[in-house]
Amino acid sequence: MSYHRRESTLDTKKSARDTEDERRSLAHSIYYGAGGMMALWAAKESIQVSVIFKGMAADQVALASIEVDLNEIPEGQTKTYEWRGKPIFVKHRTKNEIAREKAVNVSELRHAEHDDQRVKKDEWLVVLGVCSHLGCVPTVNAGDYGGYFCPCHGSHFDSSGRIRRGPAPLNLEVPPYTFKDDHTVVIG
């Protein structure tokens, strides 16, 4: 039987605790080596994922900004475009809608924003078509306030994209946009 034992354990005067370091060194080396390799692999994966995530796909780069021809949108109508994978509502507002939205008492709104803070030109509203409640796409030219209605949970938005009734906590988001000229808006 002693043939199979380590030399360090043959001495009966030594306790097992005294020879433990020598016996366990191989196991510790294996554990630490495997742990180190797993840590290096995890670091490599996280770096790769972050680099890939930061680099946009070619189709997304192409959609980083879009140009909208405003001549295509008749007064009182809204057209939907796609920007960065999300719907964008571009609304050509009527004079009645503009007057109605400017007359709203801002203190009565859940997310208080005056109409002038949401538009760059009174007749054009540009908003992200995603409800701030749970991310549904609202129905255009609907609801009790003549703007947008989210059929998922019943949020009503006015024609300035402000929440007026329902569970949505915030107004429809206004994306970054500029007017290239009187007939073209660049979103993004």
Task: Provide the 10 A C-beta neighbour count for residue 156.
Answer: 20
What CATH number is attached to the domain comprising 149? 2.102.10.10
Number of structural domains the chain divides into: 2
Q: Which pLDDT score, from 0 to 100, does residue 19 have?
A: 66
| 133 is known as an active-site residue | no
- Which 3 state secondary structure label does DSSP give 50? helix
Is residue 137 within 8 A of residue 131, CB to CB? The reply is yes
pTM: 0.65
Read off the pLDDT of residues 166-180 as tens digits, 9 standing for 90 and up.
Answer: 888 888 889 999 998
The pLDDT of residue 22 is above 80: no
* pLDDT digits 0-9 by tens, 61-70: 655 788 888 8
- DSSP code at position 161: -
Same domain, 71 and 162: yes
Residue 123 sits in which domain range? 61-187
Which residue in the list 4, 114, 153, 183 is annotated as catalytic?
Answer: 153
